[in-house]
Amino acid sequence: MCKQLVRCATSVGANYRAACRAQSRATFAAKLAIVEEEADETLYWLELLCESGRIEAARLQDLIKEADEIVAIVTASRRTAQRGRL
């Protein structure tokens, strides 16, 4: 679980950086879709670690909240980009 968490969490940053360098609005939106998926997967693994009892829930609460916020922000940004308003 931890390896999967590291993979998807680091992918969020890498793909966001790629989105910031996108050559077109369509590419930007596509890269943000990847960021959204990876951030949501990160959230999944954090929740799974919490629910499995492998890590104390109190230690993960802030990370889960932040991951949830990132998913919401990226989702809203992607939708705005797809509508053509940046």
* Residue 20, SS3 per DSSP: helix
pTM equals: 0.88
Number of compact structural domains in the chain: 1
What's the pLDDT tens digit per position in 25-75?
999 999 999 999 999 999 999 999 999 988 898 999 999 999 999 999 999
DSSP, collapsed to helix, strand or coil, labels residue 8 as helix
Flag the least confident range among 19-23, 67-71, 77-81, 82-86: 82-86
Task: Report residue 11: phi and psi, to 5°.
Answer: -65, -30
pLDDT at 86 over 70: no
- The CATH number of whichever domain residue 31 belongs to comes to 1.20.1440.60
Range of the domain at 54: 2-83
- Which DSSP string do the residues of 32-48 spell out, in sequence order? HHHHHHHHHHHHHHHHH
